[in-house]
Amino acid sequence: MDFELTDIQKQIQQTFRDFTLRKVKPVAAKLDEEKIFPTKLFKEAGELGFFGMRYPESAGGSGLDITSYCLAVMELARGSLSLAVSCTMQSLMGTFFLFRFGDEEIRKKYFIEALKGKKIGAICMTEPNAGSDLFGIKSVAKITEDGFVLNGQKTWVTSAPVADFFTVLARTSPDEHQPVTQTGLSIFFVPANLEGVMIGKTIEKLGVCGSLTSEVSFSDVKLPKNYLLGEIGSGTKCLMEILAEIRIMTAALAIGVATAAFEDAVEYSKTREQFGKTIGTFQAIKMKLADMAVQLETAKHYVFYAAWLSEKNLPRQKESMIAKLYASECANSICDQATRVFASYGFAMEYPVQRYFRDARFTLIGGGTSEILKNNIGKELGL
Ligand SMILES: Cc1cc2nc3c(=O)[nH]c(=O)nc-3n(C[C@H](O)[C@H](O)[C@H](O)COP(=O)(O)OP(=O)(O)OC[C@H]3O[C@@H](n4cnc5c(N)ncnc54)[C@H](O)[C@@H]3O)c2cc1C
């Protein structure tokens, strides 16, 4: 067992740490307050190679390991979870199915440009009445002579207001009134400028406010045959291919935001004085910070363990769920405790700790809620 990072991993960590310190942290509050998509930083992340890290060199990426990717994600999330969420959606869900199944046209015109951060891709799975239960989706792609006609409504689509293209999960089962089965879902590529694609109003959110989210509807959208990604009915199977990585990535996001909250709390406890002493000298605060350190370190190590399993191509479904569940719960606890260390200043919009507290809530939802993960971990245990 080797816990030391390789030279390349250290280099990636340093590159994204520098980027975050110099460019992201100074504008993180503004992105959150003004609810603006971080266009410039997004492109710069593309120039640093963030979007291509998980794709082979032959496809235009850099073929880096998942640990390197997690290190980069943690650094971005330490500066702004909004930016990190926008970037991670693009680097995995937004582009993965184009890489796996896109033809020459899709790859050249969209995938390669997305790796550079010049085009933005979003994933449309969730619907107003189907969140955790994706088999409940109603969007349907009807097979025609020339291809497909897509109808339906999606919601909570990250980056939809600025997206150039969508990857859409829809039913292709013959009878749209029957419940969807394992083979009833398919994945489609949908450019945002096609007739019938409509972007709804941006959703006002509690956190990650600089990552824009909205509804997207599809009304009789005509798709040529090559816009089917994978085979008819292979949607569930395709999603399973990337699910573990999505969960490890979400866990890395949680570690990033928790690190920022923890570091600010430690620093504050060394400088804030009450009763003639710095508050860090009080046992109650010291214990709190020690508990936070334990949560952060154990969660981080488990995320790297899940990443290691993934890199070795070993079974990792259960471990990726444990990593996501534990890291996101720890991150929320750490951000909560950090606001208590700051007390009234943790309640003030002037300090970033309130933003970490709000942003961390996202990590409890994306990649599967804690309840769903516990259900699935139970299943892995044979229950
Ligand atoms: C900021 C943000 C960005 C997002 N980005 C995207 C995106 O880009 N693309 C996309 O497709 N989706 C996106 N989502 C949607 C996200 O994937 C869903 O919100 C998530 O799957 C949960 O669905 P839901 O919110 O409808 O909750 P529901 O599924 O309605 O769940 C409600 C509650 O019931 C619990 N519950 C549900 N079923 C069970 C069960 N069987 N057993 C026990 N408890 C259960 C849940 O854990 C939860 O507590 C995003 C969400 C957020 C908040």
Looking at residue 178, which CATH number applies to its domain? 2.40.110.10
Distance 133 CA to ligand 1 centre (A): 8
Name the residue of 86, 372, 374, 377 to mutate for ligand 1: max ligand atoms within 8 A of Cβ.
Answer: 372
Distance 159 CA to ligand 1 centre (A): 17
Same structural domain for residues 172 and 251? no
Does 310 reside within a domain? yes
Distance CA 180, CA 149 (A): 18
Token code pair at residue 247: 């969960």
Span 202-220, average pLDDT: 98
Task: Tell me which of 180, 202, 233 is where a domain ends.
Answer: 233
Task: Tell me which of 207, 233, 259 is where a domain ends.
Answer: 233
Share of the chain above pLDDT 90, in %: 97
Number of domains in the chain: 3
Token code pair at residue 212: 């824009």
Same structural domain for residues 103 and 204? no
Does 263 reside within a domain? yes
Looking at residue 279, which CATH number applies to its domain? 1.20.140.10
Give this prediction's pTM.
Answer: 0.98
Distance CA 66, CA 258 (A): 20
Instruction: Give, using CA atoms, the residue closest to atom 31 of ligand 1.
Output: 132
Does 1 reside within a domain? no
Does 88 reside within a domain? yes
Does 333 reside within a domain? yes
Distance 142 CA to ligand 1 centre (A): 26
Name the residue of 159, 369, 373, 374 to mutate for ligand 1: max ligand atoms within 8 A of Cβ.
Answer: 369
Task: Tell me which of 115, 149, 170 is where a domain ends.
Answer: 115
- Please state the length of the chain: 383
Q: How many helices (H) and strands (E) does the chain have?
A: 13, 10
Distance 256 CA to ligand 1 centre (A): 22
Same structural domain for residues 301 and 168? no
**In angstroms, what CA-CA distances link 368 with 114, 223, 375?**
25, 30, 11
Does 102 reside within a domain? yes
pLDDT tens column, 305-361:
999 999 999 999 999 999 999 999 999 999 999 999 999 999 999 999 999 999 999
Same structural domain for residues 370 and 257? yes
* Structural domain containing residue 83: 7-115
pLDDT tens column, 263-292:
999 999 999 999 999 999 999 999 999 999
For residue 179, the model assigns a pLDDT of: 67
Does 197 reside within a domain? yes
Name the residue of 85, 96, 132 to mutate for ligand 1: max ligand atoms within 8 A of Cβ.
Answer: 132
Beta-carbon count within 10 A of 348 CB:
11
Does 95 reside within a domain? yes
pLDDT tens column, 10-34:
999 999 999 999 999 999 999 999 9
DSSP letter for each residue of 174-225: S-TTSPP-TTSEEEEEEETTSTTEEEEEEPP-SS-TTS-EEEEEEEEEEEEG
Distance 243 CA to ligand 1 centre (A): 15
